[in-house]
Structure formats: C-alpha cells, structure tokens
Amino acid sequence: MTCRDCTNAAAKRWHGFSQDCKGCCARAASRSPHYRRCRDNGVQDREYRGLLAQFSLTHEDVRAAAQSDAMSRSN
C-alpha cells in the first residue's frame, strides 16, 4: 500500500484512486475487464499486456493489488 486510497481500499469498499500512485494504478488494472478475462482464461492477451505497459506494471503488481483490494474479496 502506498497511499491513503490504497490503505482505504484494503480495509473497505473504496472507489478513490491517486493518479501518481503505482498501487492505485495496479488496483485499477485489477478491476478491469482485461485482468478478469486473462485471469479466467489463464493467458495474458495483447490488450492486457498493453494495459500493463501503459502503467509500467507487472502482472504480479496487479495480482497483489487484487488480493489486497477489499472490493475483490467481496465479489
């Protein structure tokens, strides 16, 4: 967790993001349909890899953000 929005998102349903926070970018990516599609299919496709590149993230960054996101746990 790297900012107030990340801390809040780990504790409760939270919709705030800070644009200059890598954790927030990873959390936003983890909520995207691209991540869900690739997670469900077990294959990283071009669109998802483009999303990772756009925000300088790794798949591990996004997976970790998904695991710490309270909204992901409540679904």
At residue 72, the pLDDT reads 83
Residue 56 lies in a domain: yes
Domain count, the chain: 1
Exposure string of 2-13, with b = 16+ CB inside 10 Å and e = fewer, is: ebebbeebbeee
Q: Is residue 38 part of a domain?
A: yes
Residue 15 falls within a domain, yes or no? Answer: no
Task: Say which DSSP state 32 is in.
Answer: S
CA dihedral 2, 74, 56, 58 (to 10 degrees): 110
**28-74 tens-digit pLDDT:** 999 999 999 999 999 999 999 999 999 999 999 999 999 999 988 75
Residue 42 belongs to a domain: yes
pLDDT for position 2: 75
- Domain extent, residue 51, equals 22-73
CA angle 58, 33, 70 (to 5 degrees): 75
Neighbours of 25 (CB within 10 A): 22
> Which 8-state DSSP code applies to residue 12?
S
State the pTM of this model: 0.90
> Quick one: pLDDT at residue 74?
58
